[in-house]
């Protein structure tokens, strides 16, 4: 929990910083953050930030990044509190190490077919595909002949 909280905090903080830096200067869609703070003041800027009328993609990215930062910090501190209460330190990569170890174990159990088996299976697959194609063509021609017969009877 500590590790993922730290990761969320780090990614959210980087995304928020990039969103703020991208919106510092005047762009075509709205004026920059510094210009808005100077013009509206902090309270006016915050009300415009959350107003649906002035919501842009950059502001949505910034708000999502802020949520990531807050959730990451909450997870980080909850994890630290659990570790302090239990006294057992959390291993960040223990689950990942077990996962990769299990994958290696399963990989060793694979029985690879011989070249002759692969060739035989490929030939069987091609033969079945060819037979199926002949069957579909025959059914199509039969239905085509039936429709032509019905159209002749109608006229």
DSSP three-state, residue 34:
helix
- Least reliable range by pLDDT among 36-40, 79-83, 106-110, 138-142: 36-40
Q: Average pLDDT of 11-17? A: 75
CA distance 32 to 25: 5
* pTM for the full predicted model: 0.40
Express each pLDDT in 74-105 by its tens digit. 877 787 777 777 766 656 667 778 888 999 99
Does position 126 have pLDDT exceeding 70, yes or no? yes
């Amino acid at each position: 929990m500590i590790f993922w909280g730290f990761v969320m905090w780090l990614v959210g903080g980087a995304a928020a910083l990039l969103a703020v830096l991208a919106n510092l200067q005047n762009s075509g869609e709205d004026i920059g953050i510094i210009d808005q703070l100077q013009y509206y003041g902090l309270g006016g800027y915050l009300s415009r930030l959350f107003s649906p009328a002035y919501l842009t993609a950059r502001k949505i990215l910034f708000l999502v990044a802020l949520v990531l930062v807050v959730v990451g910090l909450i997870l980080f501190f909850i994890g630290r509190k659990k570790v302090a209460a239990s006294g057992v330190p959390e291993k960040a990569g223990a689950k990942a190490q077990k996962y990769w170890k299990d994958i290696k174990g399963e990989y060793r159990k694979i029985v690879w077919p011989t070249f002759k088996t692969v060739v035989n299976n490929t030939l069987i697959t091609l033969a079945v595909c060819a037979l199926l194609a002949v069957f579909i063509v025959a059914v199509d021609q039969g239905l085509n002949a039936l429709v032509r017969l019905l159209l002749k009877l109608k006229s």
